[in-house]
Structure 1
Amino acid sequence: MNPRLLLFITFILLQTQAFAQASLHGKVLDEKGVPLPGANILIKGSYDGATSGQDGSYRFETSATGSQVLVFKFLGFKTQELAITLDQNSLEIQQIKLIEEITEMNSVTISAGAMEASDEKKSVVLRPLDIVTTSGAMGDIVGALQTLPGTSTVGNDGRLFVRGGDASEVGIYIDGLRVGNAYGSSTANVPTRTRFNPNIFKGTFFSTGGYSAEYGQALSSALSLNTKDHSLRTQGDVSIMSVGGGYSQTLANDKHSISLTANYFDLKPYQNLVKQDFDWERAPNGWDVELSAQQKLKKGGLVKVLARTEAGGMELWQTQPGENGRGMYVNLHNKYSYAQSNWRNSYDNGWSLFGGLSVSSNKDDLIIDATPIKRKNLLSHAKFTAIKDFSDRVSMKVGTEYFIHNYSEKLQLENEERSFDEQETYFFTEWDWYLSKKLVLRGGLRAGNSQLAEQSWVDPRLSLAYQVSKFGQVSLASGQFHQLPIENFRAIDPTIGNSKAKHLILNYLFQKDGLMFRAETFYKSYDELIRFEGNPSNPTGLRNAGAGYARGVDFFLRDRNSIKNTDYWISYSFVDSKRSYNQYETEVQPNFAPKHNFSLVVKHFIPTLKSQLGTTFSFNDGYTFTDPNESGEMNSKTKSYQSLSFSWSYLPRPNLIIHFAVQNVLGRENIFGYSYASNPNEQGVFESLPTGQPAPRFLFLGIFLTLSKDKTANNLNNL
């Protein structure tokens, strides 16, 4: 061989040996010791590396020497770095165990008692759009929620009743701030509705029990409405309806948006066309003005302002059992204002801060027969919350709240007044521990103090969720809840203390490609409920001496994929509820807690007709009541409640929507109870009158026109 060629080959071999001095090998495993095939291993800052095999093992050589950093990467796991020192020898790396990375998309969520309605969360039950397109809801937030499991429809009331609890046991919040008098003022047996327009909200969190330590003063449920962060475009919206009309103007750019809305309603023209079963002297009427504004701050913060003022009234005659004539005259005029502002911001160090202030003011001028009554209710709420993400596995929420509550009711002719002034302070904390992406634990504490009742309390809350399959999970929630009595009771006895409830909830949730199935069983115990002598209009001897329970099971199925252009959901609830409360001497089934509750909602879109057709069927097995002609309390029951509703939404042009709806299409005569005469007649019988609906059915027609540069924009953009 040529000496020069031999020298050249020897030189190449020496160079190769010099630049391939170190060999590395080892294994990559997960936290449980299971091999991770396909993991990437490399020297930081170089191209030297390898991919792990089926058993998690790897081997590669590198020309790097000295102090280096070995990097381990695998999708869904945290990247890990290891400092090493390389020389000419083979280096065996100890087994590396990678830690799963927890994100909102891959982690399990606690679903026990909780139903989300937004476009941001993974667990969506009702979208904001569903609130205004559910037949029978007539655009009312609570009307749509009444088609969900755990709720009861009480047709002569209109408020939200949850799992055997009274409507006063549901706390309503906007952007985390408590709303006083969230429902429009009404009189006995005339149903009401929520005051706020669903167009201003981006989503809804509705808890049927076991809710977060962030909320309190609600024995049964928390309903949190979240306003939009920013409006999409500048536009004007005109609404012409069979019960009134309104206009909304929105101005928006990249940094801020503001909307101003004004509405007027008057049912008199409608009632002149449609026969009413109520004896109206003046049909319900009123107006409202609402302002909603959002401002983005330079460092990522957001400020929101919401303000609303309204006034309305009604006059009617309520027939009295055993009496001739038109009955009792009722005249109600209401003035209401609500204002709030809140700020929030997130920081690079893992902290998120929130601060807000709200004020609710309600004034009722009421005349019952010839007796004028004035009621005033003022609620102020200040709140500060801080959230800290210590890692993707541990998160903390801590906050404080302060309430000022002033209430008074005055008999003007007698110049008699009773009132109370209250200050309440709360502190809460809640911790989330993601033990793995399949298991999450949440623990919380809420402490409160009532200056007026001279009472302090602490409520523990605990919940967990475990993913049992790719699309299924189970959740468990428990907790203790306190609630001070309703205002008119506290005005009689300001020192009366809290009632208490304990919740235990077990939930199964399945979600896959537009299909959701939810099954939940629950047990709720009550203690220290309010009891009194006499009747609710003039109670005496108020005391915390009642108790009770509610137990049952819920089922919910929603399917948006199986039938083309069709979205439907089915809900069923069984509630067994008994309680000793108010004037009852024994434990009774409340008249607001039917045992069996069923709803079916169907929406079908017909592209060729540019129309969406909807129908809702609601059923419960009837309401309990006391018949004084029989022995015992709550000894009778009405026939079942049934209501079939229909709606048709038509879009002749992109910026024009025509909506027609009929509530209780078949005109079923639903009875919610009976009122009885105070004294028996000559035959010794207590005469009665049924408590029913204002009319056999309710019809609604609305025309909604949007004015904007974008001719395709319409009212749906607000939802």
Structure 2
Amino acid sequence: MSTRLILFFFLLMSQHVALTQTTISGIILDHKGKELPGANIMIKGSYDGTTADISGKFSFETSKEGFQILLIKMMGFKAVETVIECTGGEIEVGNLTLKEEITDMNAVTISAGALEASDENKAVVLRPLDIVTTPSAMGDITGALQTLPGTSTVGNDGRLFVRGGDASEVGIYIDGLFVGNAYGSRVANVPTRTRFNPNLFKGTFFSTGGYSAEFGQALSSALALSTKDLSVRNQGDLSIMSVGGGYSHTFSSEKQSITASANYFDLGPYQSLINQNFDFESPANGWDFEVASQKKLSKGGHLKALFRTEGGGMELWQPVPGVEGRGVRIKLNNDYTYGQANWSNFLSNDWTMFGGVSYSRNVDNILYDSLKIKNTGETLHAKTYGIKDFSDRISMKLGLEFFRQNYSEALPNENLQRNFKDNRIFAYTEWDWYLSSKLVFRTGLRAGSSDLSSQLWADPRVSFAFQISDASKVSLAAGTFNQMPVENFRVLNPNLANSEAKHLIANYFFQKEGRTFRAEAFYKGYNNLVTFDGNQMDMSNLQNEGEGYAQGLDIFFRDQSTIRNTDYWVTYSFVDSKRQFDQFETQVQPSFAPRHNFSLVIKHFITNLNSQIGFSFTANDGYTYTDPNLNGEMNSKTKSFQNLSLSWSYLPKPNLIIHLACTNVLGRENVFGYSFSQTPNEDGVYVSLPSGQVAPRFLFLGVFLTLSKDKTANQLNNL
């Protein structure tokens, strides 16, 4: 009897459970109305649920009763919750639509005009390791960037020239803060370098046009360098080179690190062994001292500081066309100081804040024959901005900047001086509109004012990108860019206004399985360029009356996977540039804008020998110049520029690196232009002298030793 009673109650309970089971079914669709397989559907707070099938349909049972929350989730889409009432039987919820969620993983990025080297998910082009191992660069940041699309190699200058613009049109920033006099001072066709070591940086953003509203005072390009975060270990690095030596030491802890370095170079011993084309009285020499510090703050904040001071100089004789003898003696002594500090943090309500200040001071003491000249420039830059993510589809950046610039030119023996001071204020805003994970628009506006010129201006900018496939995208960018004239113009005429450039850029980008392809067409129109009467030594009547254009096409291909242990990239840039500027009365092709530019870089690692060999070849079709013996302006052209460079890096021990490099291995006699006598000789001919290379080739040997508890650590760990 008891057994029958227990069985009766069991059957009764089973019938009750069966009566309270609820079947839930429906279809999951995406924002375009297409079926979405793989979505997860569940009763919130329970284990009851299922996964949508290949047609987006789902069906499952639950024993839950009453009002419940049905949760639908899928990666890349916003989760959806809907309330249902479980009373037994069947519930058909119909079509449930998931909206796309924009994240860093799936959002398309704008690449028009930009070459990223800091975000591995974007167009990785050059890392610090790429820079120091590019043979023709000799460890110089701009030297490596000259192998990228949009740039031109001007061998007797060394600075960055981008898409028909001169070197002053490139703004250089460290952690978003402007760097005044970022290149070493130069004289008499001796090329210069950037002042900062690539080991200092973790990434590079190089824009060849159409860049963010955050950056201004640059007509052609913005080069933004990001310093490294916390160092991972205590270590010392000793460098012994054919041109000098140095030592740096890093102290690191869990929340902060500091690196101090000192270097000295003197080309005297090297030039005594290697013949030079220039007549040096005193070869280039110099020293530098640098401190970089990083600190983690509470609540996710970061504080960074950088200080650098350096000094150096050279003395040489510059021959004068048509005049016998060694020519004019030129002596340069330079002192430079740069410092900056910046703070960043993530705040509540999806705000990211940044604030920083930088200061640079450059002093050039020049002796030109018997004339003493002293040029002093100071730049103070203060900047703050905030980024607000209103949702995964709308993001805003809002910023303010202040520049204070002082510049003076003096003749100490004559007690003469001219100078100017200018305060400039900028405000900018930029909005990113993610219409989907495949389509994004960016709108920006930058406005500024100058006390000195009593000028106000505004620069609108817009860009968009569309993801064609997982591996490719297209983007467009357009905008207006203003820049104050260079200091030696403004000190002569403080009323000079901004020069202006308008950019239009179309970009195609492809990246897959270690291969990158990039093609970009561009047009840049110039207005209000500075013109003057006379020549560079005797400028008068400076005005904003020049104009011009630059247009062309860039092609870039990089392959890191096809050939084992080999990385190579190929670049071709075509630039059609004409402008009326400086002393020219008509629109001419500038000497710094070759029409055809080509470069090939190959790096191959030989595992058995613990070595990397490097090969780089750079060429262009030559430089224009004015021959006064002929009619017209910029009426002649040099033969093509060609430079084949090789390098070899060897690791005999994990903490020891030996690096050997040679530029212009074939010893080609590259000519960058000609200087002519001021008056014709008795035959009515203006005598000329070529402007060429300092030496047929340059050879570098360096030994780099790392001292730390980790015996496998070396200077490559910093790159």
For 1:231-630, what aligned pairs fall within 5 Å after superposition? 231-630=231-630
1:433 Cα deviation after fit: 1.4
Structure 2 alignment gaps of length 5 or more: none
Letter in 2 for 1:718: N
In the superposition, the TM-score normalised over structure 2's length comes to 0.98
Tell me whether 1:669 sits opposite 2:673 in the alignment. Answer: no
Cα-to-partner distance string for 1:77-106 (whole Å, 9 max, x where unaligned):
221111233334533324211122222222
Letter in 2 for 1:630: L
Identical amino acids, percent of aligned pairs:
63
1:368 Cα deviation after fit: 0.6
Indicate if the aligned counterparts of 2:17 and 2:63 stay in contact, CA closer than 8 A: no
CA distance in 1, matches of 2:119, 2:222: 20
CA distance in 2, matches of 1:470, 1:362: 48
1:40 Cα deviation after fit: 1.4
Tell me whether 1:126 sits opposite 2:118 in the alignment. Answer: no
CA distance in 2, matches of 1:354, 1:182: 23
Letter in 2 for 1:400: L
Q: What is the aligned partner in structure 2 of residue 76 from structure 1?
A: 76
Structure 1 alignment gaps of length 5 or more: none
Cα-to-partner distance string for 1:192-230 (whole Å, 9 max, x where unaligned):
000001111001000000000000000000000110011
Indicate if the aligned counterparts of 2:188 and 2:318 stay in contact, CA closer than 8 A: no
CA distance in 1, matches of 2:112, 2:56: 38
CA RMSD of aligned residues (A): 1.4
Cα-to-partner distance string for 1:634-673 (whole Å, 9 max, x where unaligned):
0000000000001010100000000000010000000000
Tell me whether 1:689 sits opposite 2:685 in the alignment. Answer: no
Indicate if the aligned counterparts of 1:352 and 1:388 stay in contact, CA closer than 8 A: yes
Indicate if the aligned counterparts of 1:214 and 1:428 stay in contact, CA closer than 8 A: yes
CA distance in 1, matches of 2:415, 2:709: 58
Q: What is the aligned partner in structure 2 of residue 154 from structure 1?
A: 154
Q: What is the aligned partner in structure 2 of residue 19 from structure 1?
A: 20
CA distance in 2, matches of 1:3, 1:283: 111
Cα-to-partner distance string for 1:158-190 (whole Å, 9 max, x where unaligned):
000000000000000000000000000111311
Alpha-carbon spacing, 1:514–1:109, altered in 2? closer, same or farther (3 Å): same
Name the SS for the 2:76 alignment partner: coil
- With 461-470 and 332-341 compared, the bigger mean Cα shift is at 461-470
Letter in 1 for 2:693: Q
1:385 Cα deviation after fit: 1.1
Alpha-carbon spacing, 1:190–1:19, altered in 2? closer, same or farther (3 Å): same
CA distance in 2, matches of 1:507, 1:438: 15
CA distance in 2, matches of 1:188, 1:343: 41
Cα-to-partner distance string for 1:16-74 (whole Å, 9 max, x where unaligned):
23431x33222210000001122111111112223222332222332222222110012
Indicate if the aligned counterparts of 2:553 and 2:573 stay in contact, CA closer than 8 A: yes
CA distance in 2, matches of 1:499, 1:549: 13
Alpha-carbon spacing, 1:234–1:5, altered in 2? closer, same or farther (3 Å): closer
1:519 Cα deviation after fit: 0.6
Alpha-carbon spacing, 1:272–1:38, altered in 2? closer, same or farther (3 Å): same
Name the SS for the 1:492 alignment partner: coil
CA distance in 2, matches of 1:136, 1:220: 24
CA distance in 2, matches of 1:54, 1:610: 51
Alpha-carbon spacing, 1:94–1:643, altered in 2? closer, same or farther (3 Å): same
Cα-to-partner distance string for 1:599-624 (whole Å, 9 max, x where unaligned):
00000111111111001000000000
CA distance in 1, matches of 2:499, 2:435: 35
Indicate if the aligned counterparts of 1:659 and 1:703 stay in contact, CA closer than 8 A: yes
Indicate if the aligned counterparts of 2:200 and 2:227 stay in contact, CA closer than 8 A: yes
Alpha-carbon spacing, 1:119–1:703, altered in 2? closer, same or farther (3 Å): farther
1:393 Cα deviation after fit: 1.7
1:521 Cα deviation after fit: 0.6
Indicate if the aligned counterparts of 1:119 and 1:127 stay in contact, CA closer than 8 A: no
1:275 Cα deviation after fit: 0.5
CA distance in 1, matches of 2:38, 2:471: 25
Segments of 4+ in structure 1 off by > 3 A?
1-10
Name the SS for the 1:129 alignment partner: helix
CA distance in 1, matches of 2:52, 2:116: 41
Name the SS for the 1:382 alignment partner: strand
Indicate if the aligned counterparts of 2:245 and 2:265 stay in contact, CA closer than 8 A: yes
Letter in 2 for 1:157: D
Q: What is the aligned partner in structure 1 of residue 137 from structure 2?
A: 137
Letter in 2 for 1:226: S
CA distance in 1, matches of 2:25, 2:612: 63
Letter in 2 for 1:374: K
Name the SS for the 2:387 alignment partner: strand
Letter in 2 for 1:304: K
Letter in 1 for 2:343: W
Letter in 2 for 1:173: Y
Cα-to-partner distance string for 1:91-139 (whole Å, 9 max, x where unaligned):
3324211122222222211111000112544320111111100001000
Indicate if the aligned counterparts of 1:119 and 1:202 stay in contact, CA closer than 8 A: no
Indicate if the aligned counterparts of 1:128 and 1:203 stay in contact, CA closer than 8 A: yes
Cα-to-partner distance string for 1:429-474 (whole Å, 9 max, x where unaligned):
1111111111111111111111111111111111111111221111
Q: What is the aligned partner in structure 2 of residue 188 from structure 1?
A: 188
Indicate if the aligned counterparts of 1:105 and 1:122 stay in contact, CA closer than 8 A: no
Name the SS for the 2:137 alignment partner: coil
1:4 Cα deviation after fit: 5.7
Indicate if the aligned counterparts of 2:69 and 2:84 stay in contact, CA closer than 8 A: yes
Indicate if the aligned counterparts of 2:265 and 2:286 stay in contact, CA closer than 8 A: yes
For 1:700-711, what aligned pairs fall within 5 Å after superposition? 700-711=700-711
Name the SS for the 1:143 alignment partner: helix
Alpha-carbon spacing, 1:121–1:420, altered in 2? closer, same or farther (3 Å): farther
1:317 Cα deviation after fit: 0.4
- With 353-362 and 342-351 compared, the bigger mean Cα shift is at 342-351
Indicate if the aligned counterparts of 1:264 and 1:288 stay in contact, CA closer than 8 A: yes
